[in-house]
Amino acid sequence: MKYLDEYRDPAGCRRLAKEIRTTATRSWTIMEVCGGQTHGLLRHGIDRELDGVVRLIHGPGCPVCVTPLESIDFALDLARRQDVLLTSFGDMLRVPGSRQRLLEGRGETGNVGIVYSPLDAIRLAEEQPDRQIVFFAVGFETTAPATALAVRRAAELGLDNFSLLVAHVCVLPAMETLAANPNSSVQGFLAAGHVCTVTGHACYEEFVSRFRLPVVVTGFEPIDLLAGILQCVEQLERGEASVANCYGRSVRTDGNTHAVELMGEVYEVCDRPWRGFGVVPGGGLKLRPKYASFDATERFDFNSLPIVEPKECRSGEVLSGQIKPTDCECFGTRCTPESPMGAPMVSTEGACSAYYQYGAAESTALTEGAKS
Amino acid sequence: MTPMCLAIPGKVIKWIERESPFATATVEFGGVRRRVSMDCVPEADEGEYVIVHAGIAISRIDRSEAMRVLETLEELELAELRESVDDLPIDRPGTVRGTP
């Protein structure tokens, strides 16, 4: 596919990896923020290829993973109602709540439906006027414009059987929380390319001047990932810290202004608890009062039961980059993608599932064609 | 399964609706055509490539920027070639290899 295949060229990958090894005079610790990047790095064997030169710490950029248990329990509660069809992305529906999961293997716990887009949920609401269609809105700034658009369309169509359970999160406040932690060993960040496609990268200037850490906007294909790492290593070697854009084909300085306006019209920033982090100030989005009638938490009652976090699961430490998934005693034994304890083992963006999936893989972008 | 932040490039084939918030076009992904929301890329032309996430286009691909990282690679390749040429053992009359 155009604009994908050319960024997977194995010879190009090897050249960039060699350049990184030549440039680095010591080992640097870099965090890739987005879970999509984590999967790319592991799938293509980039982490192993750069072993000893670059230590990659996996960031919190898995929205499914940081969604608080209370929201998942609310979703489970909604799915048990006869008049409700709860919809979301497949990953979200597989995450365990306190007591059960929305999708148990192939069976469903309640009335749930996987959709590719929140706009599909709008179509369902039009087709089934006697049923309440709720979309569980998870995701970073990449996804928020799509759910905001769904709300705008529902308002325009006068749909009174559509609502959102909003659990959107914002990535920059979480990076600030990580960077401000005195125990953090992160020396540079690969910023999430598709979040920046929406938000732009001008918003990182203040972060860079405050923390003196390089931020390199990075894409997801192996060439993009290696180019981002090279740019970050070059800055670190020169003792510099600036915002660089290595995903220019998609990211503009000010992002996508239409998408930003759409988000701002429907959502406002709020404090939000992140699983594994606690409350992140400014770390979430909620519906503005003028769209409150589309808020599932306003429309439906929810008697929240005490939250039961699985004791053995160390996903909080994984999400904040303190440990690697393989450091957890349950990894691959009591916790697997088929029987997960925590969200990072469920989500296709979770670090645990990436390690489980690619841990033993020998093929890499650097040794052969990396077609997925 | 759709990873949460996965977004893929597709070619705009035909605009269907221009009116916001229902802007829609047919977009092709490796031979597969889908209806995609175009509310965030109203300036996109037919034939142009856009990046699509969760059913909506979130950016237009900048063609010259798309070439940039590939050009860097070409430079690296040239540098590699030059190095390998420098390393070639060349016997010149009257010189002894290995001397300055």
Count of all residues that appear for chain A in the document: 372
Closest C-alpha to A154, from A284, A55, A340, A299: A299
φ and ψ at A274, to 5 degrees?
-110, 135
Between A179 and A302, where is the model more confident? A179
Q: Average the pLDDT over each of A110-124, A159-173, A306-320 and give the range with the smallest value.
A: A306-320
Question: What count of other Cβ atoms lies within 10 Å of the Cβ of residue A250?
Answer: 28
Query: Which residues of A, range 106-165, sit inside 8 Å of B by Cβ?
Result: 116-120, 138-140, 142-143, 145-146, 149, 152-153, 156
Tell me: do A126 and A74 sit in the same domain: yes
Q: Which residue of B has its CA nearest to A114?
A: B1
Q: What is the pLDDT of residue B4?
A: 59
Q: Do B2 and A15 touch (CB under 8 A)?
A: no
Dist CA A218 CA A41 (whole Å)? 12
Lowest-pLDDT choice from A63-72, B8-17, B20-29, B61-70: A63-72
Q: Which residues contact B44 (CB under 8 A, 6 or more apart)?
A: B12, B25, B38, B50, B57, B60
Quick one: A324 and A288 in the same domain?
no
What is the dihedral angle through the alpha carbons of A247, A250, A254, A257, rounded to the nearest 10 degrees? Answer: -160
pTM: 0.91
Is the model's pLDDT at A3 over the cut of 90?
A: yes
| Residue B92 confidence class, pLDDT cut points 50, 70, 90 | low
Rounded Cα distance, A195 and A127, in Å: 32
Kindly report, residue by residue over A31-50, the tens digit of the pLDDT: 999 999 999 999 999 999 99
Residue A322 in any domain: the answer is yes
Residue A253, token pair as written in the block: 């300085």
CB contact under 8 A, A36 and B3: yes
A91 touches chain B (CB under 8 A): yes
Pick the range with the lowest mean pLDDT from A67-76, A179-188, A203-212: A67-76
In a domain, A233, yes or no: no
Q: Are residues A269 and A327 in the same domain?
A: no
Band the pLDDT of B89: cuts 50, 70, 90: low
- Considering the domain architecture, whether residues A85 and A156 belong to the same structural domain is answered as yes
Residue A353 has pLDDT above 70, yes or no: yes
Q: What is the pLDDT, as a whole number, of residue B90?
A: 60
Mean pLDDT of A324-341: 90
A347 in reach of chain B (CB within 8 A): yes
Burial class (CB in 10 A: 0-12, 13-18, 19+), A50: buried
Token pair belonging to A345? 């083992």
- What is the average pLDDT across A238-251? 98
Residues A287 and A321 in one domain: no
Express as a percent the part of chain A with pLDDT over 70: 95
Q: Which one of A232, A266, A299 terminates a domain?
A: A299
Strand-pair category, B32-37 with B24-29: antiparallel
Instruction: For residue A130, name the pLDDT band (cuts at 50, 70, 90).
Output: very high
Tell me, yes or no, whether A78 lies in a domain.
yes
**Shared domain check, A138 and A108:** yes
Cα separation, A351 vs A266, whole angstroms: 31
Q: Is residue A62 part of a domain?
A: no
Size of interface A-B (CB pairs under 8 A): 155
Q: How far is CA A62 from CA A92, A114, A312, B88, in A?
A: 11, 18, 20, 50
| Weakest-pLDDT range from A55-69, A116-130, A200-214 | A55-69
Q: What is the mean pLDDT of residues B15-20?
A: 97
- A339 and A271, same domain (yes or no): no
Q: Do residues B50 and B44 touch, judged by C-beta distance below 8 A?
A: yes
Quote the number of domains for chain A: 2
Provide the residue range defining the domain that includes A292.
68-168+256-299
Q: Which residues of B touch A16 (CB under 8 A)?
A: 73, 76
Interface-testing mutation among B29, B49, B58, with chain A (most A C-beta atoms within 10 A): B58
Q: Do B76 and A19 touch (CB under 8 A)?
A: yes
Ranking A65-79, A149-163, A259-273, B32-46 by mean pLDDT, the lowest is A65-79
- Does A275 score more than 50 pLDDT? yes
Nearest to B73 by CA among A13, A3, A90: A13
CB < 8 Å to A117, chain B:
37, 54-56
Sign of CA pseudo-dihedral A212, A213, A214, A220 = negative
With respect to residue A173, please indicate whether it lies within any of the assigned structural domains. Answer: no
- Residue A86 domain flag: yes
Q: Is residue A8 in a domain?
A: no
Residues A290 and A326 in one domain: no
Kindly list the residues from chain B whose CB atom is less than 8 angstroms away from the CB atom of residue A258: 39-42
Shortest distance between the Cα of B9 and any Cα of chain A, in A, equals 7
| A160: CATH | 3.40.50.11740
Question: Does one domain contain both A283 and A347?
Answer: no
Together in a domain, A321 and A285: no
The reply to whether A283 and A336 lie within a common domain is no
A342 & A285 share domain: no
Alpha carbons A118 and B56: distance in angstroms, whole number: 10
Classify residue A347: in a domain, yes or no.
yes
CA A189/CA A216 separation, integer angstroms: 6
